[in-house]
Chains A and B, each alone.
Chain A
Amino acid sequence: MAKIIVVTSGKGGVGKTTTSASFATGLAMRGHKTAVIDFDVGLRNLDLIMGVERRVVFDFVNVINGEATLKQALIKDKHLDKLHILAASQTRDKDALTTEGVEKVLNDLAQDFDFIVCDSPAGIERGAFLAMYFADEALVVTNPEVSSVRDSDRVLGILSSKARLAEKGETKVKEHLVLTRYNPARVAKGEMLSLEDVKEILAIPLLGVVPESSSVLTCSNSGVPVIREEGSDAGLAYQDLVARFLGDEVPHRFITEQKKGLFSKLFGAT
């Protein structure tokens, strides 16, 4: 049985799709058969970031409506044969998603895959709700900024009260904090919330901190998940995050300001 993981945040633009793409890629890189589903019906982005937008024939809604089989709609990644992508429909809206339809697709995927990553849309409406409803675990993506933290808190409340596991009352969804766009230098100047502030407010275990990095944008534009980018801080942070998710003990990095060396102090640009 596959484990279902939702990547969610409440607020838009914090890095859900970036995280979904890199997280799913990382799981596949570690040898786990992984499917990643774009729940943002009507505003599909995941296929762009994964670099498969030219290969989308059928999508999630086609499968739910029985217009295509899962096998036809799943797009296999060019580099990793254990990674599959199920794109969202660009021409429909979230009403096309039904609870029964989503459940059936997830159940079918669960037969073949180790992990199913659900990339949630922003908000707390139908698409976001269905993305988290069937989850076993949740990556809550948050920026070090008050409105993002507030929205994540709201999402955690919904996860703990309205998700399927919570409704059954047996266990609860396992929650992980993913802090993205973290800039220790700006935290030191008091321009950003610190890691400690965010942890105190949300009170869930930290899975990883992804530093603010220009490579995230360039990777998105070129359709490569940032985790595949050699030498990128953000990519390394996602590799650590995946390793921690799989149970490895990896110390956190990129959480303190990097001291400039003597050379860069003397000659470096300001």
Chain B
Amino acid sequence: MTRSRTALEIKGRMLSITRVRVLDADTAAIRAHLEQLAKQMPQAVKGMAVVIDSEFDADLPALLEAMRGVGMQPLAVSDGPLAASAKGLGLAVVSKDSGKTGNAAPEPAKTPPPQVASAAAASQRRPARIIAEPVRSGQQIYAEHGDLVLLNTVSPGAEVIADGCVHVYGKLAGRAIAGARGDETARIFCRKMEAELVAIAGIYAVSEQMKDSPRGAAAMAYLEQGRLRIEPHKI
């Protein structure tokens, strides 16, 4: 048996990491919020890789305990008031992101070429899951690590979930959840929007909250600055 010459193999890899911003110093309130989140989306929260971002010096040990308690995996903190205590606790400190969330185009200067990044992301992604049959009330379809394409209708009471985008070529009358593992760039597209609920990366709206959005028409749902927007899909 031949031994490989190097001890390590180093490869680039894209990971989907969720940024959690701390808005309130009250640990009890944070814990309550996390528990509610875990109840709503147990699949997404379990094992979720998290970077903690705070403008003030929050009680980091308590925060970590609360997050780990619901199954999240805090990996790092954003550079800022938490950096000092993070180092003491063995967490990484990552640079603050530029403030541009979502699909900001990479600057050509010093950032890695976009092809490399997308190739690494593609190796994580699985091919789209394509469903030709109607998705009926009570059925649940999940596309793990990829997009979900539904060629037929999604009935009221049905649930379609993807870690990537959700595309519905028929009527969407059930629930659609995109970015189930926290991908904020995921979107939901449909030819006829009559959804009971749409959610992207955990931000959701039920139909009652969609009164001002297009109903019965082609529409697209996406996140903009952390807010869910549902707009007519125009070409």
Which A positions have Cβ atoms within 8 angstroms of B?
A: 124, 150-151, 153-154, 156-158, 160-161, 201, 203
Contact = CB atoms under 8 A, between A and B. Distances in A.
A154 B137 CA distance: 5
A161 B131 CA distance: 13
A156 B136 CA distance: 7
B152 A157 contact: no
Contacts of B156: 150, 153
The 9 closest A-B pairs by CB, nearest first: A157-B136, A153-B137, A154-B137, A154-B138, A157-B139, A153-B155, A153-B136, A156-B136, A157-B138
B134 A158 contact: no
Interface string B128-162: 00000111111100000000000011011110000
Nearest to A153: B137
Contact of B137 (A150, A160, A161, A203): A150
A154 B157 contact: yes
B19 to A, nearest CB: 37
Question: Which of A124, A157, A158, A161 has the most chain B CB within a 10 Å cutoff?
Answer: A157
A82 to B, nearest CB: 35
Contact of B139 (A124, A161, A201): A161
Chain B: interface size category:
10 to 19
Contacts of A160: 133, 136
13 contacts: A150-B156, A153-B136, A153-B138, A154-B136, A154-B137, A154-B138, A157-B139, A157-B158, A158-B138, A160-B136, A161-B139, A201-B173, A203-B152
B137 A157 contact: yes
Contact of A150 (B139, B153, B157): B157
Contacts of B138: 124, 153-154, 157-158
Nearest to B170: A203
Nearest to A10: B137
Nearest to B153: A203
Given A150-B155, A158-B138, A201-B173, 10 more contacts: A153-B136, A153-B156, A154-B137, A156-B136, A157-B135, A157-B138, A161-B139, A201-B155, A203-B134, A203-B152
A157 B155 CA distance: 10
A162 to B, nearest CB: 10
B170 to A, nearest CB: 9
Contacts of B158: 157
Contacts of B155: 150, 153, 157, 201
Nearest to B140: A157
Contacts of A153: 136-138, 155-157
Contacts of B152: 203
A166 to B, nearest CB: 10
Contacts of A154: 136-138, 157
Question: Which of A150, A153, A161, A201 has the most chain B CB within a 10 Å cutoff?
Answer: A153
A60 to B, nearest CB: 27
Contacts of B173: 201
B154 to A, nearest CB: 11
Nearest to B157: A150
A88 B153 CA distance: 37
A206 to B, nearest CB: 16
Nearest to A172: B133
Nearest to B174: A153
Contacts of A151: 137
Contacts of A158: 138
Nearest to A160: B133
Interface string B81-113: 000000000000000000000000000000000
Contacts of A150: 137, 155-157
Contacts of B153: 201, 203
Nearest to A161: B139
A242 B74 CA distance: 64
Contacts of B133: 160
A154 B174 CA distance: 12
B131 to A, nearest CB: 11
Interface in B39-80: none
B93 to A, nearest CB: 48
A201 B173 CA distance: 10
A203 B139 CA distance: 16
A160 B131 CA distance: 13
A121 B152 CA distance: 29
